[in-house]
Structure 1
Amino acid sequence: MFTYETADQKEVRRFRIAQFNGRMATVKSGESTVTGFVRSVLEQESSTPPRWTITIIPNAPKEELKPLRPSPRLRPFAEDYF
């Protein structure tokens, strides 16, 4: 799990919408980029200005799908179209 802290209300709203709709969210923190599902958005009530802690469950990058068999080089019955 990846924990991210922010004080930006627009960013928090984006994470809450992603959590509600079950969509993935992307966070750029320094040089690292994390993409995954938002697990929780918690407000820290004791801080001024308000801050939020966001927990994201990262997804592993998808592997490229390889075709099961090579595609045919010739189209059968191509002469029928001419």
Structure 2
Amino acid sequence: MFTYETADQKEVRRFRIAQFNGRTATVKSGEATVTGFVRSVLEQESTMPPRWIITIIPNGPKDEPKPLRPSSRARPFAEDYL
């Protein structure tokens, strides 16, 4: 899990919408970029200005899709058209 802290209300709104709709969200923190599903958005009530802690479950890297079968280069029924 990845924990991210922010005070930007626009960003918090974007994370809450992503959580509600079940979509992935992307966070860029320094050099790291994390994409995943938002698990929770919690407000810290004791801080001024208000801050939120967002917890994201990162997605694993996607594998490249394999072709179902090799494509043949010869047209098997080409002689039918002659």
Number of residue equivalences: 82
Paired letter, 2:64: E
Paired letter, 2:10: K
Q: Deviations over 1:27-74 (max 9, x none)?
A: 000010000000000000000000000000001011001123211112
Q: What is the TM-score when the length of structure 1 is the normalising length?
A: 0.91
> Mind listing any 5+ residue stretches in structure 2 that lack a counterpart?
none
Paired letter, 2:66: K
Show the counterpart of 2:29. Answer: 29
> Mind listing any 5+ residue stretches in structure 1 that lack a counterpart?
none
Report sequence identity in percent: 87
Output the CA distance in 2 between the equivalents of 1:75 and 1:43: 63
